[in-house]
Chains A and B, each alone.
Chain A
Amino acid sequence: MKRLLLTGNGAAAWGARLAKAEYIPAFPITPQTEIIENLAAWIDSSEMPGRLVTLESEHSMMTAAGGAAAAGVRVFSATSSQGLLYAMEMLYTVAGWRVPFVLVNVSRALSAPITLEPDHNDVFAARDSGFIQIHCSTCQEVVDAVLLAYRLAEHPDIRLPVMVNLDGFYLSFTREPVTLPDQQGAAEFVGGFDPLGMAFRAGAPLSQAVAVLGGSQYSYFRYQQHLASLQALDVYDDLEREFFGRFGRSHPAVEAYRTDEAEMVFLMTGSFATKAGNAVDALRESGIRAGLVRPRLLRPFPVRRLRQVLRGVRGIAVIDQNLSVGKGGILYTELASALYGQENAPVLLSFIGGLGGRDISGEEFIGIARVTIDAIRSGSVPEPRLLYTADELRHIRKLQAIASVQQENHCRNHE
């Protein structure tokens, strides 16, 4: 094992290299491009065997990934944001083909308006596609998750594509210390790819079980994807234990940080969760029993695990770095459905923060905890809140003034 400074993108590329990915269909997009650049450089210098092909779009890239996996080749690919959405049709399709491969998504908020920085609406748009989803919060987790992802994807009870998500900028371009598994240890852990009889060849046409027409058949095959995905809950636990035994790092399906005796917890995904951990330490020092719960697996959704770690917690602040327009936070909705009807269910508060890469400050985490404690004590749950400050609004009003937007009769946020 080697410890070095790596960006999240560098860690993702190392994951593919250590897993001995053989075929990489690629299309560049900020902030993902560095992954492809790394892999291209290694293949060019023969440090990594395999073939990298640039396609004309993410739609074709995803088709090539699915086709190659069906041919029995180990496939890696990566995209982000608009690219993921451009491939959306094929995400559902290749999941339906039940072909195993790993796709890294570098989260970046969706246009319009435009930003290069992250939120999770891109990866949540693929929530129902059939891909398994692992969400990372450090660069270390990225390389480890790619290795775990191949085992999950290629498991004979699952055989679904897996998406590994990391945040643009906050991880993709940020170097931090990463311990790289050695090539031999990684290869032993991941093992060879057994395609279980899949042998798609252009010269030898064959069809897989999904080539059927009609609702009854469709229901069977689609629901089988669902059941396979649910299998991944237990399989992940086993793999994660095996990974810990071999490499000494633990990545449970649901991370529970200082949840012992916790009165309130933050519940969120992604890189900002490390900042929540910082706030938890500060709150504990000041006598507030706070904790952090972070689902790594988003699909399948680890309902049983979440119920376990949230038992006894009286209030949960769900921080959604995404927005379902016309409804609210997606994670909040998911969690509510997991806890509805449970005995002594905690109060659930919804906070929307970090849209388009907007930062979440330490003071805001403390503020969220205070609002949550108040709700626990009073039993009255406040409306969902967008994390947005008076300073930010003042800035927007200035921009609107520059654009000569007539505000007098239309704005309610007067100073």
Chain B
Amino acid sequence: MYRIRFHGRGGQGMKTAGRILGTSFFLEGFDVQDAPRYGAERRGAPIFAYVRASRSVIQERGVIRRPSLVVVADDTLAGLPEADVLGGQSADTVMAILSDVPEGTWRSRLNLDSPIVCIPRPDAIKGYAGQAMAGVCCAAVAARLCGSIPKSTLARAVREELGFLAPSVLERSLSEASRMFDSLAPYEAVVRDRPDREFSCDNPPGWVELFHDAAAVAAPVIFGGLTSRLLKTGMWRTFRPVIDTARCRRCWWLCSSFCPDSAIHVGDDGIPAIDYEHCKGCLVCVARCPVHAISAVPESRGVRQENGEEAV
């Protein structure tokens, strides 16, 4: 059985990736399961979709615990515990990541011995409008890496799943899928078809007895604002607002007043600062700033700039 997980953000087409790959396998005669897993259901929030494909009837259900392939559409998710990109990875799990950061960097960052396929992000997905195209690209990545899907079948699946879109969008999707598929020829079939049974009869389930806790613990009063500060909603961003302090007129109220998440604070010096741990990337501040001192930067570039890996 092939077990594939697609990780991305709401709006990047992960459900579509799952459906295109699922349909591709189905057209090739496989038994298939594909499903998105929703959570926050917000644009930019981490979501994933998964696909199982086997030559025999699939009895397994639910989230894939031990993936044979993980495809990451957005490399900013790699460091987020909430996204759980590394969940259940083992020595023969292939990780394919759309990223402009070199493979060696990912290998040392993630401390992985398993295969990593680092794929430069196609130009088509770099702009804000191209976000949704990531799904088509990821489906093509998985099809090539699993190796059981000819390019013509992938194209047929793209047509079946995206046939309802405008012809121009469909054509663009087909050409992106085709380009991605062609570019990965050296990685044809690096993902192994694994046994249908993913669990071992020898591992104990790890149960624990659950004892009664006092109501003060089991139905606690949650104390005030502490918790919302600890919940870092900054991970929902696909784009981040960046303030050019040279341009900022220090009006001190527009961007911070309009920020729906109170994530912009104005210091005593009158310079606004963005709390990136809680900014969700709605870009209201970008729209509101009358002197255009705030720009929208793709999150991946923002992270690199923050780490000093790229000039601001």
Contact = CB atoms under 8 A, between A and B. Distances in A.
Contact of A362 (B23, B197, B214, B230): B197
A74 B212 CA distance: 50
A400 B207 contact: no
A410 B208 contact: no
Contacts of B59: 274-275, 277-278, 281
B22 A175 contact: yes
Interface string A83-127: 000000000000000000000000000000000100000000000
B268 interface: no
Interface string B199-232: 1110111111111111011001011001100100
Contacts of A170: 61-62
Interface string A380-415: 000001111111110000001011111101111100
Given A278-B197, A363-B205, A400 B217 contact: yes
Name the residue among B33, B226, B227, B230 with the largest chain A CB count within 10 angstroms.
B33
Nearest to A399: B227
Contacts of A410: 213-214, 216-217
Given A5-B32, A389-B207, A390-B206, A283 B201 contact: yes
The number of chain A residues touching the other chain, given as a range, is 35 or more
Given A386-B210, A412-B211, A412-B213, A404 B35 contact: no
B34 A366 contact: no
Contact of A174 (B61, B213, B220): B61
A388 B207 contact: yes
A387 B210 CA distance: 9
Contact of A411 (B19, B26, B217): B217
A390 B209 CA distance: 8
B198 interface: yes
Contacts of A366: 199, 201, 205
A359 B214 CA distance: 27
B92 interface: no
Contacts of A177: 26, 31-32
A411 B213 contact: yes
B205 A175 contact: no
Interface string A340-384: 000000000000000000010111101100000000000000000
Contacts of A278: 59-60, 197
Nearest to B211: A412
B220 A405 contact: yes
B210 A388 contact: yes
B212 A175 contact: no
A176 B226 contact: no
A363 B200 contact: yes
B26 A275 contact: no
B38 interface: yes
B293 interface: no
Nearest to A412: B211
B227 A402 contact: yes
A272 B60 CA distance: 8
B199 A412 contact: no
B258 to A, nearest CB: 29
A286 interface: yes
A271 interface: yes
A413 B205 CA distance: 18
B65 A271 contact: no
Contact of B203 (A363, A385, A393): A363
A332 interface: no
A221 interface: no
Interface string A221-265: 000000000000000000000000000000000000000000000
Nearest to A403: B222
Interface string A278-306: 11011100100000000000000000000
Given A275-B61, A361-B65, A385 B214 contact: no
B217 A169 contact: no
A200 interface: no
Contacts of A402: 226-227, 230
A42 interface: no
A174 B61 CA distance: 9
Contacts of B115: none
Contacts of A411: 213, 217
A173 interface: yes
Contacts of B206: 363, 389-391
B210 A413 contact: yes
Nearest to B39: A116
Contacts of B208: 388-390, 392-393, 413
Contacts of A272: 61
A389 B37 contact: no
Contact of B35 (A169, A279, A282, A405): A169
Contacts of A359: 62-63, 65
Interface in B33-74: 33-38, 58-63, 65
Contact of B205 (A5, A274, A367): A367
Name the residue among A5, A402, A406, A410 with the largest chain B CB count within 10 angstroms.
A5
Contacts of A407: 217
Name the residue among A174, A364, A411 with the largest chain B CB count within 10 angstroms.
A174
A177 B22 CA distance: 10
Nearest to A366: B201
Nearest to B205: A367
B223 A175 contact: no
Nearest to A383: B209
Contacts of A7: 35
Given A116-B38, A174-B33, A391-B206, A362 B199 contact: yes
Nearest to B59: A278
Contacts of B212: 412
A406 B221 CA distance: 10
Q: Considering the complex of A and B, which 10 residue pairs feature the smallest CB-CB distances, nearest first?
A: A362-B199, A410-B214, A367-B205, A412-B211, A278-B59, A174-B35, A410-B217, A405-B220, A390-B208, A389-B206
6 contacts: A174-B33, A286-B201, A366-B199, A391-B206, A404-B223, A413-B213
Given A361-B205, A388-B207, A403-B227, 12 more contacts: A5-B22, A275-B62, A278-B60, A364-B205, A366-B205, A367-B204, A388-B210, A389-B207, A393-B208, A402-B230, A405-B217, A406-B216
